[in-house]
Amino acid sequence: MALKPEPTAPFHSVQYALRVLETVAKHVGGVTDAQIARETGLPAGHLAHLLRMLRRERYVEQVTDSTYAVGEALLLLGSGGGDRRGALEGKLQQSLDALRDSLGAAVYISRYIDGEVKITQYADGPGTPKVNEWVDFRSAAHASAVGKCLLTQLDYDDRRDHLSRHKTARLTSRTITNEKVLFSKLDSQPATVPVLDLQEYAVGTVCAAVPITAGHAVGCLALSLPLEHAHRLRQAADTLNRSAAPLLLSLTL
**Cβ-Cβ contacts under 8 Å for 26 (sequence gap 6 or more):** none
pLDDT at 113: 94
Average pLDDT of the residues in 229-245: 92
Residue 179 domain flag: yes
Side chain identity at 48, as an amino acid letter? Answer: A
- Residue-wise pLDDT tens digits, 29-46: 899 999 999 999 999 888
pLDDT digits (tens, 9 = 90+) for 106-122: 999 999 999 999 999 99
In a domain, 124, yes or no: yes
In the predicted model, what is the mean pLDDT of residues 191-202?
Answer: 93
Which residue range forms the structural domain that includes residue 177?
Answer: 92-243
Does 214 map to a domain?
yes
Does 173 reside within a domain?
Answer: yes
What is d(CA 154, CA 85) in angstroms, rounded to the nearest whole number? 26
Q: What's the pLDDT band for 11 if we cut at 50, 70, 90?
A: low
Query: Is residue 79 one of the residues assigned to a domain?
Result: no
Q: How many domains does the chain have?
A: 1
Indicate whether 78 pLDDT > 90. no
For residue 117, the domain's CATH number is: 3.30.450.40
Question: Which of the two residues, 151 and 28, has the higher pLDDT score?
Answer: 151
Q: Please check whether residue 197 lies inside any domain of the structure.
A: yes
Q: Does residue 4 register a pLDDT over 70?
A: no
CB 246 within 8 A of CB 33: no
Tell whether 55 is covered by a domain: no
Residue 32 falls within a domain, yes or no?
Answer: no
